[in-house]
Structure 1
């Protein structure tokens, strides 16, 4: 499977595409130089395939590369950061 994570700033969410199809979203609020992740969802047909982890990794990497501080209100993103503190 081919994964691509991108920032859809107009919709306030990071999106993951799997083989070109939208497979999930990580919603956020942006305030200054801080991004607050609020909710993450993966389409049912992609659950259990590691898509959520790829989305979290990609979204956190994009935010970090943009110089943003991260706040994880979303339980999924918070759990991912606990397992991968280098992305916090």
Structure 2
């Protein structure tokens, strides 16, 4: 069993599901039905050319499995693919970017200092 991250634009969040059967794609599904059990989410606000991450939460039953990091990576990869600038208001996403400098470029250079990423 594994995990899967999907974008749920109706709820303005990326969701991570645990317990997804082997062979099920980890790509976002159009209907938001990922299979498995909802383990957490990263809320965002989308505006012209930007995605602001505002809150990330993992259910306590799923803590310690690396799901928050997998969720952050998938959400940031999706933002990169869509050409969106990232505004990491969420402390978890901001900290994760700080530990993975290859994602710093997603935050506009003029705004990095505000997020402690200069």
Q: Give the Cα separation in 1 of the matches to 2:82 and 2:2.
A: 23
The alignment partner of 2:54 has SS state of strand
Could you tell me which of 48, 68, 71 is aligned with 2:64? 48
Q: Note the 1:71-82 alignment, pairs <5 A.
A: 71-82=87-98
1:3 CA drift (Å): 1.4
Q: Note the 1:1-88 alignment, pairs <5 A.
A: 1-19=1-19, 20-87=36-103, 88=106
State the structure with more CA Rg: 2
- Give me the TM-score of the superposition, normalised by structure 1: 0.95
For the aligned residue pairs, the C-alpha RMSD in angstroms reads 0.9
- Greater relative CO, 1 or 2 (CA 8 Å, sep 6+): 1
Q: Deviations over 1:27-64 (max 9, x none)?
A: 00001110000000001101111111111111111111
Gap regions ≥5 residues in structure 2:
20-35, 107-118
Gap regions ≥5 residues in structure 1:
none
1:85 CA drift (Å): 2.1
Structure number with higher strand proportion: 1
Q: Give the Cα separation in 2 of the matches to 1:63 and 1:6.
A: 13
Q: Give the Cα separation in 1 of the matches to 2:101 and 2:43.
A: 20
- Give me the TM-score of the superposition, normalised by structure 2: 0.72
